[in-house]
């Protein structure tokens, strides 16, 4: 990747297709619900090749990952290896992350080490709401240890962004798991592992701002919400104390980067801060 050729780095994009097989029962309905909630007009997710073509045309690099939520949702996960291989085929634009359910314990830790060493995976996506766990549960620590040891990073869904919204019982997803306050423990116990809190953390935005301003290894990505809905406090901190720790993210395909960027242009972000959020902070974090 020639990072100078891209205009931005989207730190939050999804690879949603099941691996080498048809979609699970309920999977289409899940994505149709997401499309309705976000007004994307999509009832099914794009495959990774479509995603690469889309981002390449925009000259935007993307961090891309699956979500391993098989245990809670029953949907087969997209193979981490396949995601990494397709990302490698499109390495001018894609940066591979992976996802492992912390419940896999030592098996998950071995997988994490192998993915970093053999497939060039740069980080791991956790979705406490979909995976059904508190991030500071000690049973997850064996996986975090592997991630920290391998020099990778961890990206955690926080707050409520619409996943499962409007479906019976919210698809069984419990928002409580994604309160960012639980990541404070993780940041203390794994100070050498970069932690990205994904999304404006509604309804716990101030907790997220507090943790990110207090812990040197904690960042915030702005995905999952249109910038026009950002809280006044999030904008204030992005312009000041956290201007070097806030990252552009769209939440593709739920929100497209062009829609996000168009709304970002309209909010009160300082001219000197915009390039930090859109590219430079991510560039430094990723070591480009």
How far, CA to CA in Å, does 218 sit from each of 23, 184, 245? 35, 9, 8
Mean pLDDT of the chain: 90
Complete DSSP assignment for 39-76: T---SSPPPHHHHHHHHHHHTEEEEEE----HHHH-PP
Mean local confidence (pLDDT), 56-83: 92
Per-residue pLDDT band for 2 (boundaries 50, 70, 90) equals confident
Dihedral sign, Cα of residue 95, residue 76, residue 38, residue 164: negative
More confident residue, 285 or 1: 285
Per-residue pLDDT band for 46 (boundaries 50, 70, 90) equals confident
Q: Give the pTM.
A: 0.90
Q: For residue 252, what is the DSSP state?
A: B
CATH architecture of 3-286: Alpha-Beta Barrel (3.20)
More confident residue, 101 or 25: 101
Least confident span in 13-27, 85-99, 157-171: 13-27
Cα 148 from Cα 146, distance rounded (Å): 6
Closest CA to 178 of 194, 154, 160: 160
Q: What pLDDT does 52 receive?
A: 96
Residue 144 has pLDDT above 90, yes or no: yes
Mean local confidence (pLDDT), 212-239: 97
Residue 49: CB atoms within 10 A of its CB come to: 12
Per-residue pLDDT band for 129 (boundaries 50, 70, 90) equals very high
Q: Where are the domains of the chain?
A: 3-286
Per-residue pLDDT band for 164 (boundaries 50, 70, 90) equals low
Residue 30 has pLDDT above 80, yes or no: no
């Amino acid at each position: 990747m020639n990072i100078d050729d891209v205009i931005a780095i989207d730190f939050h994009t999804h690879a949603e297709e099941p691996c080498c097989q048809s979609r699970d029962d309920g999977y289409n309905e899940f994505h149709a619900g997401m499309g309705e909630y976000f007004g994307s007009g999509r009832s099914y997710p794009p495959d990774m090749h479509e995603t690469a073509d889309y981002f390449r045309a925009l000259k935007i690099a993307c961090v891309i990952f699956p979500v391993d939520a098989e245990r809670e949702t029953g949907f087969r996960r997209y193979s981490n290896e396949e995601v990494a291989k397709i990302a490698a085929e499109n390495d001018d634009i894609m940066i591979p992350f992976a996802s492992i359910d912390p419940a896999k314990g030592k098996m998950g830790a071995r997988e994490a080490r192998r993915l970093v060493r053999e497939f060039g995976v740069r980080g791991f996506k956790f979705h406490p709401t979909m995976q059904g766990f508190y991030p500071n549960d000690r049973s997850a620590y064996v996986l975090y240890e592997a991630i920290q040891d391998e020099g990778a990073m961890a990206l955690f869904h926080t707050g409520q962004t619409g996943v499962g919204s409007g479906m019976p019982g919210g698809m069984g997803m419990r928002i409580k798991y994604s309160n960012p306050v639980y990541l404070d423990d993780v940041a203390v116990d794994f100070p050498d592992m970069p932690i990205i809190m994904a999304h404006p953390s509604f309804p716990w935005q101030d907790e997220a701002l507090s943790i990110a301003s207090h812990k040197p290894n904690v960042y915030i990505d702005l995905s999952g919400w249109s910038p026009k809905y950002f809280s006044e406090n999030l904008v204030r901190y992005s312009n000041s104390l956290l201007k070097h720790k806030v990252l552009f993210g769209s939440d593709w395909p739920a929100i497209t980067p062009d829609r996000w960027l168009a709304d970002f242009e309209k909010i009160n972000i300082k001219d000197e801060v915009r390039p930090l959020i859109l590219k430079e902070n991510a560039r430094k974090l990723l070591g480009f």
